[in-house]
């Protein structure tokens, strides 16, 4: 699984430019699923048929990542940019970016001596140009962050775009583990989550699931003077109760918790006061779809070095496989 994680997290794929990671996912899911398709927005939809009279269960993880887009090139060839998704300017100075055409650049700041925290207007991308004429990128070109994955010890790994490529890994490994599920299972690898959960709603509208479980990352409260949140790396995947955009269906919360207890799998209960996931969009699609989320605890979200614990991933795969393999009754 380590090789798969590295392949996915190092792949290029800012929102709306998911082509490279999408091709990887299609290649990996096609031998395992009964049907694989790509919709008009670019969502990958892989279906596995279950037994008769089961539910239609959608599992969804987004394959896009945060990034930047060129908005202006000055007379000396330096590029001003806008963010794609929740990019924090505090984390950017000195970081490298790669554009869709392969051009590399480094993010600089107007006044490196300033003691105040930078704003977007203070930052630029240096691609080695001297003028607009010899600049190898143009207005509207998009870039993602460049940072290799690193394994710190047996359990902890860091990389850019754990959000939410690690969710894509969980879905793929769950697909591998399924053996004659009770339910039809629809695996969706969605686009444009980071800019407003835009891919999830159309995917759910089209496939008409009875139940949706999103898989994404969540923040932790286990760093020095960190955010006061009962969430730790290594203590199990999290069953979402609420976040900044949705209240998870209580019946689905109970189902996932009961299945975790029955399988003696560690889990945590997630209450996240900010951010949201694709489940926010699926919950209000069509006449409403019972939706919840299984989260992988992650430190330093939306930075080029997001950290997860492999035990949480493995236990998340085990729990998700159990939930979708057995008969689902929401009560």
Alpha helix segments (H runs only) across the chain: 2-9, 19-29, 162-177, 200-207, 250-262, 278-283, 310-325
How far, CA to CA in Å, does 214 sit from each of 73, 239, 240, 277?
39, 10, 10, 7
DSSP string covering 246-260? -B--HHHHHHHHHHH
The answer for residues whose C-beta is within 8 angstroms of residue 264's C-beta and 6 or more apart is none
Residue with tokens 């629809």: 186
- Helices and strands, number each (H, E), in the chain: 7, 17
Cα gap 297→227, rounded to integer Å: 13
Residue 239 phi/psi, 5-degree rounding, is -95, 115
Q: Is 193 a catalytic residue?
A: yes
E-only strand ranges, 34-183 = 35-38, 44-48, 56-62, 67-73, 79-84, 96-99, 104-109, 123-126, 142-145, 150-151, 156-159
Measure CA of the first residue to CA of the last residue in the chain; give whole Å: 35
Cα gap 60→187, rounded to integer Å: 6
Question: In what order do the strands lie in the sheet containing 156-159?
Answer: 150-151, 156-159, 306-309
Q: Which of 18, 65, 173, 193 is catalytic?
A: 193
Handedness of CA 167, 171, 176, 177 (dihedral sign): positive
Yes or no: say if 138 and 70 are a contact pair by the CB < 8 Å rule. Answer: yes
Q: Which residues pair with 79 in a beta bridge?
A: 73, 125
> Annotated catalytic sites, by residue?
193
């Amino acid at each position: 699984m380590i090789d798969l994680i590295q392949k996915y997290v190092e792949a290029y794929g800012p929102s709306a430019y998911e082509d490279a990671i999408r091709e990887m996912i299609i290649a990996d899911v096609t031998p395992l699923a009964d049907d694989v398709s790509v919709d008009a927005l670019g969502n990958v939809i892989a279906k596995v048929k279950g037994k008769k009279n089961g539910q239609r269960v959608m599992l969804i993880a987004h394959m896009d990542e945060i990034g930047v887009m060129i908005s202006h090139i000055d007379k000396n060839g330096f590029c001003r940019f806008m963010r794609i998704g929740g990019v924090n300017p505090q984390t950017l100075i000195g970081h490298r970016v790669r554009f869709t055409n392969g051009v590399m650049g480094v993010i600089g700041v107007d006044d490196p001596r300033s003691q105040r925290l930078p704003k977007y207007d203070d930052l630029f991308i240096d691609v080695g140009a001297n003028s607009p004429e010899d600049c190898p990128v143009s207005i509207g070109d998009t870039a993602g962050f460049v940072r290799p994955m690193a394994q710190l010890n047996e359990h902890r790994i860091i990389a850019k775009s754990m959000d939410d490529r690690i969710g894509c890994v969980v879905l793929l490994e769950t697909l591998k583990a399924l053996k004659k599920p009770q339910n039809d299972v629809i695996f969706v690898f969605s686009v444009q989550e980071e800019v407003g959960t835009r891919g999830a709603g159309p995917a759910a509208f089209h496939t008409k699931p009875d139940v949706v479980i999103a898989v994404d990352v969540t923040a932790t409260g286990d760093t020095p003077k960190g955010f006061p949140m009962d969430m730790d790396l290594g203590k199990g995947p999290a069953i979402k109760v609420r976040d900044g955009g949705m209240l998870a269906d209580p019946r689905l919360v109970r189902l996932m918790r009961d299945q975790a207890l029955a399988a003696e799998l560690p889990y945590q209960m997630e209450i996240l006061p900010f951010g949201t996931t694709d489940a926010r969009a699926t919950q209000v699609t069509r006449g409403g779809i019972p939706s919840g989320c299984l989260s992988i605890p992650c430190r330093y979200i939306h930075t080029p070095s997001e950290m997860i614990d492999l035990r949480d991933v493995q236990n998340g795969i085990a729990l998700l496989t159990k939930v979708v393999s057995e008969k689902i009754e929401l009560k």
